């Protein structure tokens, strides 16, 4: 069997979840008597990603020097390639100081159980200028209306850094038991299936026909063994479709339109950053960690509003030096159904077409149709998928 792609930055994956049951129980017991802080939702999601091995080879939360360096040039102070700061930011650290061992409480689960234990190596504060500079470098804007910028700057400026041991996977494992998978589990499953060339598809939305066909195209052109549809299960912006509805829609599409054993439907526990190009690179890093050899990056990948150019999330990869990232990018254009050719095509590959030759619908138009109980045209959305979404949107109005 072909060898699997190595994780980022190490020969083997080093997840920070305590997998030994006895040790985990003992650590949880110890944690009850430790000083504790409440995590922000973003920091809790970072802990879940560290726990699952997605953020390999990081051993915990970054310090100030690493965060500023990563924001500035996509490398930590010691030279590790990394695209976005992975921080534990709080408004006020109280009496916590370097050398303390502390419990990190989960803000997203009732009763705020302990999510992880941390050995604090430093307690540092970012200045307003630091925060503004990092925000601009990572998000390409300081606009407080940008949902990622608002979330990043709403946590506080005090940074607690140091290694963590993760005790559970927050609400992701309980609420999305069939879908949430760690990088370790996905790697194992890829190995079991004997896949070596593996395409990852990132989604925070249900998949319309164009997305489905894009996955087929990538698999065919790359001669891939399998596809991992990997959906974000964490916090989104207002108006986005909830994860359980997306999950149902995607599973239904795979069941009807993908050959058996060709696609895995999985999800990961992280809050969307909406950081466009930088987030696309982060997506590539953790897809490499889970065993994918290729990531589909489409138009305005991980973007929001019109903060990023259509293909900025592809061109950022052109500046990454050889050896810094092993996963490869499948660059996709906007895909749409061609009335001329009676199939879904990448628009740049249909030069003799005008806009009228494609079935193009805005997200708003589709939502309105679904809300009225009207299925979008079959060229746009599979009927089985449209039904699930119609039921959801009509439920909102009732």
List the catalytic residues: 204-205
Longest dimension (CA), the chain: 69
Q: How far is CA 21 from the centre of its chain?
A: 28
CA atoms of 290 and 285, how far apart (whole Å): 9
Q: Alpha-carbon distance 377 to 351, whole Å?
A: 23
How many alpha carbons fall within 13 Å on the CB side of residue 97?
A: 1
Sequence-distant (6+) residues with CB within 8 A of 153 are 131, 135, 144
Q: What phi-psi label fits residue 16: left (phi over 0), alpha (psi between -120 and 50 degrees) or beta?
A: alpha
Q: How far apart are CA 8 and CA 90, in angstroms?
A: 28
Number of H helices, E strands in the chain: 13, 15
Please state, in angstroms and as integers, the Cα–Cα distance from residue 231 to each residue in 305, 315, 357, following that order: 20, 23, 31
Q: 394: part of which helix (H) or strand (E)?
A: helix 383-397
């Amino acid at each position: 069997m072909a060898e699997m792609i190595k994780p980022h930055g190490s020969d083997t994956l080093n997840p920070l979840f305590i997998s030994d049951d006895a040790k985990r129980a003992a650590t949880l017991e110890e944690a009850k008597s430790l000083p504790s802080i409440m995590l922000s939702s973003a920091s809790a999601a970072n802990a879940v990603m560290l726990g699952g091995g997605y953020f390999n080879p990081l051993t915990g939360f970054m310090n100030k020097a690493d965060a500023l360096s990563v924001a500035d040039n996509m490398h930590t102070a010691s030279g590790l390639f990394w695209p976005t700061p992975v921080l534990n930011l709080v408004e006020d650290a109280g009496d916590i100081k370097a050398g303390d061992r502390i419990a990190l409480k989960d803000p997203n689960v009732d009763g705020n159980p302990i999510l992880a234990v941390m050995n604090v190596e430093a307690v540092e504060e970012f200045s307003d200028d630091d925060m503004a500079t990092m925000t601009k470098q990572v998000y390409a804007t300081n606009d407080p209306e940008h949902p990622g910028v608002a979330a990043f700057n709403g946590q506080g400026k005090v940074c607690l850094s140091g290694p963590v041991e993760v005790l559970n996977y927050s609400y992701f494992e309980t609420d999305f038991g069939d879908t949430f998978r760690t990088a370790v589990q996905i790697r194992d499953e890829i190995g079991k299936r004997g896949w070596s060339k593996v395409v990852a598809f990132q989604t925070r939305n249900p998949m319309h026909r164009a997305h489905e066909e894009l996955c087929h195209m990538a698999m065919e052109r790359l001669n891939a063994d399998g596809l991992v549809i990997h959906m974000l299960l964490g916090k989104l912006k207002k108006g986005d479709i909830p994860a359980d509805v997306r999950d149902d829609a995607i599973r239904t599409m795979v069941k009807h339109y993908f050959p058996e054993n060709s696609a895995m439907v999985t999800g990961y526990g992280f809050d969307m950053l909406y950081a466009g190009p930088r987030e696309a690179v982060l997506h590539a890093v953790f897809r490499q960690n889970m065993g994918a050899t290729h990531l589909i990056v489409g138009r305005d990948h991980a973007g929001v509003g019109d903060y990023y150019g259509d293909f900025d999330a592809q061109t950022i990869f052109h500046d990454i030096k050889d050896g810094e990232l092993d996963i490869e990018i499948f660059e996709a254009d906007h895909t749409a159904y061609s009335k001329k050719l009676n199939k879904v095509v990448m628009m740049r590959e249909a030069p003799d077409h005008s806009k009228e030759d494609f079935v193009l619908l805005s997200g708003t138009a589709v939502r309105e149709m679904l809300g009225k109980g009207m299925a979008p045209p079959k060229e746009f959305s599979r009927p089985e998928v449209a039904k699930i979404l119609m039921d959801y949107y009509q439920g909102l109005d009732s």
